Amino acid sequence: MKKIIAAINALHFTEEELQSYQYIAKELDGHVTVVFLENLTAQEFQLANAYTDMYTMDYARMAAEASEQMQVLRKESLEKFNRICAANNLDFRLHEAKGLPVEEVITESRFADLLLINNNTSFAMLLNSNPPAFVKDVLARAQCPVMVLPEKLHPISELVFSYNGTFSSMYAIRQLTQLFSGFSDARVNVVYVAEGDHKQVPHERLLREYLEEHYEDVRFTVLSGSPGAEFLALLLHRNDCLVTYGAYGRSRLSRFFHHSDAETVLRTINIPVFITHP
């Protein structure tokens, strides 16, 4: 069994989102712990905006009213969560977290095999970026592999391994392979985007030998051009596959991811994306 954590906004989640986490858990032969996240800082900011003349008001009374309102909303969310789980036979553990969402998730990820998040999970009052800052912050700092899921997850029949010959791209392939032994009957497509005159897939023989130990159907695709544009074209109309991306190491991940091809896929494509770093 593997330990999977799924981070959700305690006040904004859907039935489809929870069903997606259960689907991944079955493929992984794991158990899901849902981290129920609240953003108290954002709630206080919303409160301040609601009472623009708050300097003339009794702050203690206002805070008490807001706290009472939040208790009601949290109770309703817990009831909704339990109702969805009962209706769909979802066997989830629940961790309620009231601190800063990113910090809570990073701490939980240290003790997990996989972290699941939805591609539009946000704790800002306005969606300040696409993907949201919360998603990018988690990807930059997570201490276990992360899978970012679309709003509606379709059954996965093909694994698309992005590969450029680097250790990081192979590390992501190996991590997914070791975690998801249930995907052994899925089609595998190793996609290499040739840069310049380098048309030969780096270490192709060794990579093929490794993959054929784990998968029944392995093929290689060599493309030419801009990696971001080529991957986008390849995946644009797909909803039945999963794509892996590696990173260049923790110290450079935030810079890498900010303008990366992976971010373009997250913003544009409705497929799950598996990202990890050494």
The CA-based angle 257-262-264, given to 5 degrees, is 100
Kindly state whether residues 143 and 21 are assigned to the same domain: yes
In a domain, 261, yes or no: yes
DSSP assignment of 44-57 equals HHHHHHH-TTGGGS
Q: Report yes or no on 65 lying in a domain.
A: no
Domain annotation covers residue 58: no
Q: Are residues 36 and 145 in the same domain?
A: yes
Residues 34 and 109 in one domain: yes
pLDDT per position as a tens digit, 215-271:
999 999 998 887 778 888 888 889 999 999 886 344 444 333 444 566 677 777 889
Please name the amino acid found at residue 208.
Answer: R
Looking at residue 60, its pLDDT comes to 63
From 119, 149, 179, the end of a domain falls on: 149
The structure's pTM equals 0.83
CATH number at residue 143: 3.40.50.620
Asked if residue 239 and residue 202 are part of one domain, the reply reads: yes
What is the length of the chain?
Answer: 278
Give me the pLDDT at residue 12, please: 84
Do 16 and 109 lie in one domain? The reply is yes
Co-location of 143 and 165 in the same domain = no
Same domain, 30 and 118: yes
Q: In this structure, is residue 132 part of a structural domain? A: yes
Q: Quick one: 145 and 120 in the same domain?
A: yes
* pLDDT tens figures, 97-113: 877 888 899 999 999 99
Which carries the bigger pLDDT value, residue 215 or residue 131? 215
Q: Which of 121, 149, 177 is the last residue of a domain?
A: 149
Euclidean distance between CA atoms 258 and 165, whole angstroms: 21
Q: Does a structural domain hold residue 96?
A: yes
Label residue 190 exposed, middle or buried (CB < 10 Å: 0-12, 13-18, 19+). Answer: buried
Count of domains for the chain:
2
Gap between the terminal Cα atoms of the chain:
22
Range of the domain at 109: 2-43+71-149
Same-domain status, 32 and 166:
no
| pLDDT average, residue stretch 141-148 | 93
Q: Higher pLDDT residue, 63 or 17? A: 17
How distant, in Å, are the alpha carbons of 22, 168, 208, 239 from that of 275? Answer: 19, 10, 21, 18
Domain limit, last residue, from 131, 149, 167? 149
